[in-house]
Structures are given as structure tokens and as C-alpha cells.
Chains A and B, each alone.
Chain A
């Protein structure tokens, strides 16, 4: 088992991690780091002040207008439109001077009954009582989502470009080879929780929004900086909002989406805008999805202490009850044979191995990230805590772990491990590996300051045969070596 005690001490204050070379993390001071980063075209900085935020929500705009007396019918219709049945009942109960007494009394009684029932339902699944904003913040893979300037980030799986969703609900697409950075805005694009590019496609970008799912088609050759909202497909299903997680199948044919409010996970055929709900009893919703790179399994975690692993050929699932809390995050090994996951309330990483034999029986612990004290020149530093998200690089050699604490830790399987630190005061919020970096792995980190940096790890992969094709696009790695990775045990399993 791997633990933080094996890690080298974190960097001193003011130092930032630049890259990894020769199995060592190189660092520099904040200033030369910034100089270096600013020269690179992909490093971005979004100061919070530069974003124009929505200062008020729609419901609060009511207060700005004078009170205007409408007939009961008009008010009831408006209440029905805005608040549904409960809104209507509320309206009738409140205007008891205008309606007959029996009506107001009976509607008040119904309302009380409804509230009692929903509170009973809510006590079973506490997350159902949250507002949708809070729910997104709770279940997002981004640490402290509601306060984050960069709310979602996605590398394109094949080309060198990425999409960034910002606090002002716009999405920007950056491509180092082109001068235009398209900005995507849509009326329904609110509270973006996740973005993901469609594999095997150059243009399609799926966006998980508060009320629906958007699929943008951004023509890579277009010079337009503001694609019209006609380029976006709106996928919505009643009851399936807010969408907290999406995952494309690696073959690019299907898209799955999850909402904590909906017990069904939706499998979308995006082109025909049709969906198949996959429903199972228990859990009370689906919060996080991850499709294995060989497209054979999908991890779906629920708000309760239970997660499921779906098999994608006939769409059957295995139930995995956890002891302590819900499954917070998970990631697949590049060949899809191993699943690493973390559980809320525990400071360890578990592994599940899938193979030819019928499923694993129990999860094993591979890493323990409980709090450890390091003695440095600046005094004792305590590192460790609950794990917020995991990311495994496409070569299978590096695993990045985002802790609920303030530092990001970076575990390496082969030889050693280390911490990646940003500039002073900046906390990591989200991270992702570049899907096809030629010289090792490239970790992209979004910081709380609104900065996006890239930390390259230069190494030669142990198992990856290097083809003599310079500039060849990502080769289908899972199929190249299906056997050796599955049989090889993880580094941390060896040392335990």
C-alpha cells in the first residue's frame, strides 16, 4: 500500500511545480514560473473581476416592480406555470379572502399533506431537499464548485484543443493553432457542471447544464467567434435535472447523463435526440459517471452509500454497496481492467479489478492518504485528507489525486511520488490529463485564482511501445496491449 509517508516533503512557500523530468519534480519560484507560463499559449488566466456575472436571478427581479393586482384566475394560472401544483395550492391558500372557504381549507390541507409526504421522501434521501445549485456544488468533481471561476474543463480527445466553462456560464474553446477562440453562450446554458468532447468527432461538445444537456457543434474551420445557439442541440427529459455528470462512450456513439434528482441514468442517441432511461431501485439518483476507456463498463455512483458498475453490452449492472459514504470519484485504467475509486469520509483509494473471471469480489485498498506531518524549513506541514477527485493518465503511469485540503498530491506508481504546488494562495480546483501527450503525461490544473496551468511529466512509458511515427494521433492503446497491463500488478500492490 502506498501512503503519504513515502512522499518527499512539499515545496517551500513561494515555490511552484514546473514539470517532472528524470523522475523528479522540478520547481521554481512563482515569478519565473509565471513568466514561463505566460509565454506558453495554452496557459490562461481568468481573473474573477473580468467576468460579468449575473447579479440577480430571475425570481428576485420580481421585487423591482410595483405590486399589481390581478384577478385570481390570472394569479392562479401564473402560479401553476411557475410553481406547478404546489404553487397553485399555495396561491389559493394565501388568497383566502377571494375564494370560497371550503376551497382554501381543502387546498391548505392538500398542501400540508404534500409537504409532509415530500419531507418523508426527503428524509430517505436528504439530497433531494437541496436546491439545484447546492446539489451541483455537492456532487461536482470540481472542488468548491459554486465559488470557482473555471467551472469545467475538457481536453479534446484527439486534437490539441480544450473547452473551458466559466463562472459567467460561457464556454470558451482554445486551440493553439487557430487565432479565434469561439465563445459559446446559450439561453439554457446555466450552471455548467461538466463538459466533454465527443470522441471520434472534431466538433461536438456535450455540456451538462442546470436544466438540460446541450450538445454544441462547433465547426473547427469556422472563423466565427460567437456560434449561434442554433449550433446547439438541446437534450432534455422531464425530471432529469440538474445534470451533474456526463460521459461519452469512447467509440463516440452514445452519451450517458446523470442527475441526482433522477434515479434513472439516461443513455442518449444524440443524433436522433432519443434517450433510453436505465433505472434501478436504490440510491436515489446518480451523481457521477465514468466510462472505461475500452468502453466495456460504466461507473455510476449514487448519493447513497452505493455505486454501480454497468456493463455496456447488455446494460446490466453490478451493485457495490459501500460501508461509509457515497462513492465520490473514480477513474479507470487505460485498458479498462481496473477501477480506482474513493469513498466520502475515508482517506483511502480502493481498486476493483475486472477481467475474464466473473467480476471482483471485494475492493482492495491501494493507497492511504491519511494526514501526515512533514518537517520542513518553514515548520511542520500537515498534508492529507479526503479525496475529491482522481485522474489517471492515458499511459497508465501517473495518477493525480485532488485532496479536499489545500495541496494537490500526485501519486506515481513506478518509482516515487510528489506534490504539485501552484503559486502562493492558489488552491487546485480541478485537474485533467491531456489525452495524447507525446512525451509522457501532461496534467492540466485549474486553480482557485482563475489560472489554468499545465504541468508536463516527461518520461518514457514502460509498457508503451513507441512507434516511429512522429505526430501520429493517439493509437488505440487498450488494444495494443490488452494482456500485459491486466496481469501486471500495480506498483502500490507490490510494496504492500
Chain B
């Protein structure tokens, strides 16, 4: 994966430096955080002044400095993992089994292991800091009844329980990270300075770290009560330590109900989670900072860093997102940069900048429209399966208009990738082999191309996606309970998913259903029927109600910026566009927005699409992706209104179909 990322100047020059800066700040902040932790952990109400002098003397001793250096290493590691695992498009599990698949993914396993080890290291540092009974793992003791008092090393269980708590908290943190999509980096609508953003979200981080630590410690105590003897025995065996029988064991109710022990566990866990969350917060703040791309450059060697070129890049998603954000911001706030967008190329007089920007934005929107229409086709509103034949016959007028509109939009770019969330997910776990467990259980969308017209459209486009060939197998179950996704279908067909690109599409190969295939299909139906009755299986495989809708709009932040950018630019063009470069694209912009509006309206009529997600304010996971579809709907309407209020009745002169004109008239009369 590094070979692909190294090639991109943006990752090298911007994202890496931003990550380094965020880690540096996190390391700098470590010192005050540790000081606070030391004071809180050693505080005694009766001797406040003595506490402070003790803390000061501790902070200057060698072991404290050593543990601080270790902590710095951990922070750097956490920062590196953040950089490695972050994503701007969340991965949304559409069923319980998909979530399980994500949790068991080898990449995730490595992450969990790393967090476990880092948890142990941090817990060791905490143990050193707490001092007293926690300090070492072994202590000299005299075993027996005094007659053969040979000095031995005994296991210090307080030390062990703290170390294991660190490992447990680290592990549970990494698991929760998957469930709450902690790696997802969202972009804020309010552009504040980094310091102010940090200051604003600091109380929240403190609160959620403390709460998460409390829950983790509670779970850990339960686990230790039941399973604590296993690590204890193992450690004793490997380190040749003895158990002191005169000391009360800690994996008992009386041992665990020690208030001071609980407090120290909780404060250590809070310290651990807080340092990690602060690193994550800083990373998010730094990486989502606005980057201002030049609209055009006078030097040709910088041309690849200019906005029109950068927008069309696909690979580092962060680059595309920042570029779109920059388009949205420049269209709102900076007249001078807008002027560059509207300018003409010096020899030739072509509006290259505007053409590139508008084409990219429009293709993004057309892509979303296509996704929505395809999704709507697979999920017939009443939830019944729709066979292929009826699908092709029942083609609504909107679809026809849509295909004609998208065809002319796409004709200049035959290599347009269809970014279904499935393929996005596949691309975002680059570096590890594509696990067959996780990918197939992505949203309903994986088999969307029901109507032949759409299939014709997409067939030549989707070459590089792993779904090529597999999605078009003719007997795809259309609708839930979708026990088996496409991978099993393809295995029935005899095409292993490992080499999908080599499989020719079924259109080309002469397809005759052999008796064996029929037999297999019947067996499969039987197995499916049998499994569908089992409660656990159904629980695991049932679609989560909102998830497919969320997955459909997972990358909608890009569409929101595209809509904002286009509409603000069109609004500004009313007074700023000297050469009329916008006017040539205005019909296609309006057409694209109106088609999308229709598709979005239809999507929101589906069950579960318009139900609001439960607001969960706990945890560091950013849940903005859950409401992106509502934001997109609002932005789309606002964007159309922005154009109609600016141009008013002038829009009657714009060429468009009668259906669109009718729709636009509704907007002109403020009736939408």
C-alpha cells in the first residue's frame, strides 16, 4: 500500500506532516496530563501539601522519566495507527455477521493486538507512577509456617491486575472502535481554528474517557473474577514466582471490592483512554483542516497540484474530500478565486477550470443518482422480490430520462468507477488480502443492476471492481432474507471470488443451465430454507434496518460539497461571470440536481430511510455519517433554491425537458 501512497504528493507533503504535527502536540500534552494523573492518583485529602511535594519529587526521579519516555513511544504508535487506519468514508456493517466479520478481520486483529500491548505498557507506567503496592511484579516473601523460612519471590497480584486491566481496556477500546467507527474522520461545517476546536472538544473528551474507563473497568472486574486465575497461574509458572498464601487472593469478591484498588484501576484506565483519545482528536483536527489548492498555476510542473486536476484524482480519498471542501469554501467566501474559476484560458479562450470542476461535481452527483435508482430497483417498495423480467419491462419515465442524461454525462469518461460502498470498503482495506468474509456482507447494493439498460451502462465501467462478473450472475436473490450474498452464488457457478476479473461476464459466455447446476440450485434453496428457520442464524444475517440506507450515503459529504460548490458558483456567476461560461452548463447542472432530487425523494419514501437514528452522545466515535442522508437532502433542496432565487424567471429561457420544467416551476413558486 505504501507504493501507491508514496506516489501521491499530497500524502507525502500534507497528510504526513499533519499527522506528525498532531503527534507532536499529543506528545507535548503528555507531560501536563501525566502531572495531573500523578496528582490525582496520589492525592490525599488530609495532607494536601505533602501530596504536592511527593508528586514533585516523583516527577523528577529516573523511573518517572523512563515511564514518560515509554508513554511517548506509545503515543507515537497510537498516532501512527491513527494515520494508518483512518478513513473519510465509514464502513457500515449491514448485518450482525458483517460486523463480526469486521471484528475478526486480520487487519483488525493486528490493531487489537497492538492496542493490547500498548495497554500493558501504559498500565506498567501507571503502576510505576502509583507506586506503593503496585510497583513491582514480584516481592520477597517468606513462605510456609516460619520453620523453613527460605526467602522466595512472590507474585504481586496488585501489579498483575493493573497490567491486565491495561490490556483489557486497550483491547475493548479497539473493539469499540470498530463498532462505533472511531476511525471515521468527519469534516465540520463550522471552520474554526485548530486551537479553538481543540479547546471546544476537550471537556467532551475528558467526560467520555472517564465514562468509557468506568464501563471497561466494570467489565474487567467481572472477567477477572471468573477467569483471573488463568493469567495468574501462567505468570507464576513462566516467571517462577510463588503465590503468597498469607495474602488474600484478588479474584474473590472481597479482594475486588477494595475501593482504593477500584479507584486506581479506574484512574489508570481513564489516563490511558484520555491520552489515546487526545491523540485521536488532534489527528482528526489536523487532518481535516482546510487546505487551499491553487485554482490555476502559471507553472506547468505545479499543474498536478491545482484544483481541476486534484478533483479528478481518485486514490487518496482524503485528497478528493479536501479538494471538494475547498471548492465549496471558495465558492462561498473568496471572490478572487471564483474569478479564476470563471476565467478563460489565455490562448484558446476555453473555460478549462470551470469545465473540470463542474464535470467532476456533476459526475459525482450522477453517480449518486445512479446508486439510488439502482438501490430503489432492488428494493421494491413493498419489500417483495422483483424478478429480472419485470424489472426490465417496468421502466419508469424517470429512469429513461435518467439513463439518457447520465449517458451523455459519462460519455467523455468511460473509466468512471462506480463507487459503491462495497468497493470503497474493498479499496480502503488495501494492503491486506481481500477477505471473503467481510466484503460480501456489505449492503444490498452489491447486486443492484437489475434493469438491462443500467447493466449495459455499467458493464464496461466496473472492470476494476472485484464485483465485476460476480454481480451479474443471473440468479441473484433480490431481496431479504438475503442469506447468501454474491460470493456463494459465484462459487456455485464455479468462479472463485479470488480471481473475479478473469471471469467473463455471463453475457458473453453461452449460458446453459446444466442438470448439475439445477440440482445445486435446488439444494441451495433447501439449505437456505432450513437455515432461515434457525433463530441465531436469522439474528446474525438479518439486515440492520437503517444500515443499508446509511451505507448508500456513506460518502455523501463529497456530494454535499459538490452541491454547495456548484450552487454557490452558479449564484455568484449571476454577477461575476463575465464571459458566460456557466450558462453553457446551467441546463445540465439543473437537470442533474432535479434528477437527484427525484431519486432522493423516492429513497426517503422507503421504510427506515427517513427514520432518525438514535442519538448517542457517548464515545469518541463520530456518528455524523448516520445523518448524512438528511444533510444531503437539505443541501440539495437549498442548492436548487439558491439557483432559482438568483435567476428567477430567467430560468424559463434554459432548455430542459417538460418534466424538469414542471419540477423547476414548483421551486420557483416556493412549493417544494
Contacts and interface: CB of A to CB of B under 8 A. Distances in A.
Interface of A: 156, 158-159, 200-203, 220-221, 251-254, 267, 269-274, 276-279, 313-316, 469, 471-476, 479-480
Contacts of B633: 271
Contacts of A269: 189, 631
A471 B648 CA distance: 9
17 contacts: A251-B638, A251-B642, A252-B638, A254-B190, A269-B189, A273-B612, A273-B615, A276-B188, A277-B200, A314-B191, A314-B192, A314-B193, A315-B190, A472-B649, A473-B644, A476-B646, A479-B575
Contacts of A158: 641, 645, 670
A273 B188 CA distance: 13
Contacts of A474: 645
A214 to B, nearest CB: 15
B648 A475 contact: yes
A168 to B, nearest CB: 28
Contacts of B630: 271-272
A202 B628 contact: no
Contacts of A251: 332, 568, 638, 642
B585 interface: no
B631 A200 contact: no
B66 to A, nearest CB: 39
B671 interface: yes
Indicate the member of A156, A269, A316 with the most B CB atoms within 10 Å: A269
Interface residues of B, number: 42
Nearest to B632: A271
A199 to B, nearest CB: 8
Contact of B624 (A156, A272, A315): A272
Interface string B606-622: 00000010010000000
Contacts of B612: 273
Nearest to A254: B189
B672 interface: yes
B285 to A, nearest CB: 13
A221 B665 CA distance: 13
Contacts of B189: 253-254, 267, 269, 276
B648 A472 contact: yes
A373 B628 CA distance: 60
Nearest to A478: B575
Contacts of B253: none
Given A273-B615, A278-B200, A476-B571, 16 more contacts: A200-B642, A221-B671, A251-B568, A252-B642, A253-B564, A254-B189, A254-B190, A271-B630, A273-B627, A276-B188, A276-B189, A276-B190, A278-B190, A313-B333, A315-B190, A315-B196
Contacts of B320: none
Contacts of A278: 190, 192, 200
A277 B628 CA distance: 20
Contacts of A469: 648-650
A97 B568 CA distance: 70
Contact of B628 (A252, A267, A272): A272
Contacts of A200: 638, 641-642, 645
Contacts of A476: 571, 574-575, 645-646
B264 interface: no
A202 B193 contact: no
**Main SS of the interface on chain A?**
loop
Contacts of B642: 200, 251-252
A91 B510 CA distance: 83
A476 B641 CA distance: 13
B634 A315 contact: no
B39 interface: no
**Main SS of the interface on chain B?**
helix
A483 B634 CA distance: 33
Given A271-B630, A272-B630, A272-B631, A220 B196 contact: no
B572 interface: yes
Contacts of A472: 648-649
B670 A220 contact: yes
Nearest to B672: A202
Nearest to B197: A276
B192 A315 contact: yes
B180 interface: no
Contacts of A479: 572, 574-576
Nearest to A274: B624
Nearest to A267: B190
A258 to B, nearest CB: 16
A175 to B, nearest CB: 10
A156 B568 CA distance: 21
B524 interface: no
Interface in B174-230: 188-193, 196, 200
Given A158-B670, A254-B189, A315-B196, A201 B641 contact: yes
A290 B649 CA distance: 30
A277 B571 CA distance: 30
A157 to B, nearest CB: 9
B648 A316 contact: no
B336 to A, nearest CB: 12
Instruction: Report, nearest first, the 6 A-B pairs whose CB atoms are least far apart.
Output: A272-B627, A271-B634, A159-B670, A202-B670, A472-B648, A200-B641
Contacts of A480: 575
Indicate the member of A201, A267, A274, A480 with the most B CB atoms within 10 Å: A274
Interface in B540-599: 564, 568, 571-572, 574-576
Contacts of B650: 469
A294 B670 CA distance: 22
A254 B188 CA distance: 12
B638 to A, nearest CB: 5
B640 to A, nearest CB: 9
Contacts of B142: none
A277 to B, nearest CB: 6
A254 B571 CA distance: 18
Contacts of B193: 314, 316
B143 interface: no
A257 B352 CA distance: 42
A318 to B, nearest CB: 15
Contacts of A221: 671
A424 B668 CA distance: 42
B637 interface: yes
A249 to B, nearest CB: 10
B635 interface: yes
Interface string B656-672: 00000000000011111
A273 B191 CA distance: 17
A5 B574 CA distance: 44
B200 A279 contact: yes
Contacts of A315: 190-192, 196
Contacts of B646: 475-476
